[in-house]
Amino acid sequence: MKGNYGDKPFRGIYPALLTPISEDGKIKKEGLKKLVSWEMERGADGFYIGGATGECYSMDTEAREELAQTAINEMNGRGKSIVHIGAYSIRTGIRLAQHAESVGADAVSATPPPVYHYNIDEITEYYRILSEAVKIPMIVYINTMFTEKNVVSAVTRILELPNVIGAKFTRNNYYEMFQLSHLKGGKLNLLNGPDETLLCGLIMGADGGIGSTYNIMPDIYKKIYIAYLQSNIEEAQRWQFWADAVIGILLKFGQIQSMKYLFCRKGIDIGKAEKPGAELSQAEGKALMKKLKIIGYFHEYPELE
């Protein structure tokens, strides 16, 4: 029943799932199953499926639906799934939402409308239409596409929609997150977006995190989360700084390209980054591995060396 979701159902660590996809746009199902299982074994509490890290805006609608169905089937009740349904057409968004619900997703999510600039009344209507298309809850994606000076005031109307229970917060002003954490009587389910500042988000009111680099180090982020829950801030900070060192290396070579390279070379075939993303050259791959080895990444993840 709409609106009856319990107290903050989405907590913990949610990788923004990479999409295993072939060069002709087909989902690599076996690679996807291996990826999901590896991440679940390494501590993921669920997945954010078909978002920007999943290269959704480069994919056909049918491929996005196949991605969601295959991933959720492979999860088989292990953890929770949030399916991103943002699309260039609201009609496609409704289709993706209804498909996600039909294959067992626990929630849907959407960025604000891409490409064009809409005022806050129009964006509120966009979320109303999408959230009312299904009975499962909606997680709003609050990012820099919200350009209003007072973002908290602007998004409050959206977050008060009946089927909206939470937000993925991907902005750098954590005072805004603190303010959002008090909406809905403090029951808004907030998930931190920036990987490099998960600990900041937890301190300022997040119930967990959704992140791109969670794909290659889910249990490191889980260590940050657990240490925070145990009030061991020094330990949480240590692992946050470790993760940030890895992020710094990935950014030098291309984040999605680097993560896909690591999995593919060890038998988890998830394909290359969607075009126009460039494939890592042999020299770049070698340099990536060397830098990761120096900082101790393969001490934590020997299976990916």
Residue type present at position 78: R
Q: Angle CA(31)–CA(33)–CA(36) in degrees, nearest 5?
A: 105
Structure tokens at 293: 């080895």
DSSP 27: B
pLDDT per residue of the chain (305 residues) written in tens, 0 to 9: 334 445 799 999 999 999 999 999 999 999 999 999 999 999 999 999 999 999 988 899 999 999 999 999 999 999 999 999 999 999 999 999 999 999 999 999 999 888 788 889 999 999 999 999 999 999 999 988 887 778 888 889 999 998 999 999 999 999 999 999 998 889 999 999 999 999 999 999 999 999 999 999 999 999 999 999 999 999 999 999 999 999 999 999 999 999 999 999 999 999 988 888 888 999 999 999 999 999 999 999 999 99
Taking only the tens place, the pLDDT of each residue in 14-28 is: 999 999 999 999 999
Answer yes or no: are the C-beta atoms of 46 and 82 closer than 8 Å.
yes
Catalytic residues: 141, 168
What is residue 114's predicted lDDT score, i.e. its pLDDT?
84
Query: In sequence order, which residues have a C-beta less than 8 Å from that of residue 97 and are 6 or more positions away?
Result: 83, 85, 108, 130, 133, 134
* Percent helix / strand / coil, the chain, rounded to 5: 50, 15, 35
CA distance 230 to 264: 36
- Token pair 């291309």 is found at 254
Asked whether the CA dihedral 105, 2, 180, 239 is positive or negative, the reply is: negative
| The pLDDT of residue 268 | 94
Give the other-Cβ count within 10 Å of 135's Cβ: 12
Residue 6: what pLDDT? 55
H helix and E strand count, the chain? 12, 8
